[in-house]
Amino acid sequence: MPATVYVLNGPNLNLLGLREPDIYGHDTLDDIAGMLEDRAAALDLTIDMRQSNHEGHLIDWLHEAQAYDAKAVLLNAGGFTHTSIAIHDAIKSVKTPVIEVHLSNPHAREPFRHESYVGRAAKGTIAGFGAQSYLLALEAAARF
């Protein structure tokens, strides 16, 4: 049975393709899910893709990923990246490797986006490649 990689998406990512396409691109979350599912199959992995605008859901899903022995978690925490010590602590509390993912490059944007509580706890970060950031993160996860 293929290993599972959780792909967790935070606030406002349900609006991808509509929200600030000059920053986040025109791909929707469904488009990204399709690309990930295709690549995951080639890597003998499965994807469990989820999105929530609620911090607690992301924390619960991080715990669930460990409970179900997920291979890895790809996490685009959206705005929680820069504010959530609770998500930071959840990442630190699980053994499942977490890869922080961003469509844009936070360091090339507003100064408040330069701080990442997620990145401080994650195994690594991939950012700035649009929807390809997710695929690059999946490739990294496949090697764990």
Catalytic-role residue among 6, 88, 102, 117? 102
Which residues does residue 6 pair with via DSSP β-bridges, in sequence order?
Answer: 48, 73
Cα–Cα distance measured from residue 25 to residue 40, given in angstroms and rounded to the nearest whole number: 22
- Give me the catalytic one of 24, 88, 117, 134: 24
Q: What is the mean pLDDT of residues 20-46?
A: 94
Residues 9-17 have a mean pLDDT of 95
Annotated active-site residue 134? The verdict is no
Structure tokens at 112: 């408040």
To the query of whether residue 102 is one of the catalytic residues in this protein, the response is yes
**For position 74, what pLDDT does the model report?**
98
Q: How many CA atoms lie within 13 A of 45 on its CB side?
A: 26
Q: Calculate mean pLDDT across residues 35-63.
A: 98
Domains parsed from the chain with CATH numbers = 3-142 (3.40.50.9100)
